Amino acid sequence: MKELLKKLWDGTKAIGEDIGLPLLIIGVLLVIFRFVLTLVGVPTDVTLFALGLALISVGLGFTSVGMSAKSDKRQTDLLKELDKKVSALPLIIKGDTLTQPGQVAVKELLEEQSKEAAQKRLDDDTKRVGYVRGELFQNEDGTWSIHWGGKYPL
């Protein structure tokens, strides 16, 4: 019984938009037809209006279930494809798997954190403002940075 219900639900999700859109259109047409009959002066029962609203509701429900199922399938397929492509990039920097642009960015960052690069940044700043505003120091991980201020005025 559980298998049958699952199969029925999966089938409903697959064709949800195909079922929901006609029901939605029929419901809107029934509501419009009810209003036209009322404007013309033909006495109508409220059942026609209720049936139109019910069809609109059921149509929206089927449409939303169908759209969410298609969206879920599309997203799952994209994630599987992305997972395959990322796992095909075996290049490792500092223990992380990175794409080629990511590796270039890490390489540039490591070059920026060398003692020479930090000294060049400090020299450029000194030339720009006319006096020394910081000093070089080495981080725990071996990279170099500038300590701004301290005994130097900013």
pLDDT tens digits, one per residue of 81-135:
877 766 655 544 445 566 666 667 666 666 666 788 888 888 888 888 888 888 8
Q: Is the pLDDT of residue 39 over 60?
A: yes
Return the pLDDT at 33: 92
Q: In the chain, how many domains are there?
A: 2
Specify whether the CB–CB gap between 127 and 144 falls below 8 A.
no
Query: If pLDDT is split at 50, 70 and 90, which confidence band does 147 have?
Result: confident
Beta bridge partners of 61: none
Return the pLDDT at 45: 83
Q: pLDDT of 2-32, one tens digit each?
A: 888 888 888 888 888 888 999 999 999 999 9
Query: If pLDDT is split at 50, 70 and 90, which confidence band does 50 have?
Result: very high
Residues 11 and 78 in one domain: yes
Return the pLDDT at 73: 86
Q: Which domain holds residue 16?
A: 2-87
Return the pLDDT at 93: 47
Closest to 58 in 3D by CA, of 30, 21, 9: 21
Chain position carrying tokens 């201020």: 149
Q: Which of 35, 62, 87 is the last residue of a domain?
A: 87
Q: Is 153 within a domain? A: no
Q: Is 154 within a domain? A: no
Residues 104 and 71 in one domain: no
The average pLDDT across 127-153 equals 79
Question: 95 Cβ partners below 8 Å, 6+ apart?
Answer: none
Residues 83 and 17 in one domain: yes
